[in-house]
Amino acid sequence: MDRAGTDARIREIAEPFNKKGVTITEQTTFQNDLEFDSLTVMDFVAEIEDEFDIIISMNQQAEIENYGQLVDAVHKLRSA
């Protein structure tokens, strides 16, 4: 799956979590723009891990601040 495919699938996963209907761009932040709390982040990450059969470490999660970084991280983990 290329980066665009990864992006499209993550957007589908994010939709039910996007309670405010924010338009998601590469720069959209999870904490400020989407207002994800820690429990929402855990649930969202768990869905992504299940969908892509990957593990996103706590260190990696701490470094991911916006949507584009998440797509890059997932794509890189899938390619590894």
Tell me the per-residue pLDDT of 63-75, one tens digit each, with 9 for 90 and over: 999 999 999 999 9
* Structure-derived torsion over alpha carbons of residues 15, 17, 20, 21, reported in degrees to the nearest 10: 0
Total of domains in the chain: 1
- pLDDT band for position 32 (50/70/90)? very high
The per-residue pLDDT for 35 is 95
The per-residue pLDDT for 30 is 95
Cα–Cα dist 11/24, whole Å: 8
Mean predicted lDDT score pLDDT of the chain: 96
Q: Which domain holds residue 40?
A: 3-79
* CATH number for position 75: 1.10.1200.10
8 Å CB contact between 71 and 3: yes
Taking only the tens place, the pLDDT of each residue in 10-25 is: 999 999 999 999 999 9
Q: CA neighbours within 13 Å on the CB side: how many for 32?
A: 7
What 3-state class would DSSP assign to 8? helix
The per-residue pLDDT for 80 is 80
